[in-house]
Copies of this chain bind each other. A is one copy, B any other.
Amino acid sequence: MKKLSPKTISRLAPWLLTLFVLVCWEAICRGFSIPTYLMPAPSQIYTTGIELAGPIMEHATHTLLTTLAGFAVAVVVGAVLGMIVGSSPVIYKAVYPMLVGFNSVPKVAFVPVLVVWFGIGTVPAILTAFLISFFPVVVNVAAGLSTLEPELEDVLRSLGASRLDILRKVGLPRSMPFFFASLKVAITLAFVGSVMSETVASNVGVGYLMMSASSSMNMPLVFAGLIVIGIMGVIMYELFARLERRLTGWANRGQNAAH
């Protein structure tokens, strides 16, 4: 048998782990004969998923677009707010408690209000995805900026750079590792938000699908929905991870070096 190179290992690792988890799950479901209505086995989910692939994909596409829209708004708003909060201690002090308070509140509570204003469907879902996912971005961007080494800032200050310049040339690049870390959290939350909103107020989307499946007792379909969301989440993550590798290679230099 050939020995695998470290590169191959790290390429295979996620697949192996996924396989392992699926096998465990299947084994548990069968071993303890867990009833389908509680937790279907992966094989059942797979069968259902294949059978209803068409409609699932349709709903999934809708959810994906909704999520991305909400996420995009969240990233922009979050980054801007994070910059404002992170670059001024007074604003930091003023805004943070309010933001934390707001984010401790389950966003589902606002969905009915949003529905009344915007009708059911896409807009509330986008807004929910946005509301739920912008906070991690704010927190991390602000943390990145406020832990900026003053030495690096001084390099720009000594050139007479404006605050905006400093932000653009040092603050933001320095905060990139923080920012990307927050994207990983934010995209998962955006999915949670849009799905949640769809379960409450929509005729389409994976959230609707799951609710409708669960009210007709089709648990494998519910879980198929969950898994489709999970897969979409992973794909989005993979995209960011690539972007991250390009943009923050400098910060991860220790990892790549052959030591």
17 inter-chain pairs at a CB distance below 8 angstroms, sorted by A residue, are A10-B93, A14-B98, A16-B94, A17-B95, A21-B98, A100-B233, A100-B237, A101-B227, A101-B230, A103-B189, A104-B229, A104-B230, A135-B188, A147-B248, A149-B254, A150-B257, A178-B178
Q: Is A73 an interface residue (CB 8 A)?
A: no
Number of this chain's copies in the complex: 2
Q: Which range holds the interface residue count of chain A?
A: 35 or more
Let me know if A234 and B101 touch, CB within 8 A: yes
Let me know if B185 and A106 touch, CB within 8 A: no
Let me know if B113 and A39 touch, CB within 8 A: yes
Interface of A is mostly: helix
CA distance A230 to B226 in the complex (A): 29
Let me know if B185 and A185 touch, CB within 8 A: yes
Q: Is A251 an interface residue (CB 8 A)?
A: yes
Contact of A90 among B10, B185, B222 (CB under 8 A): B10
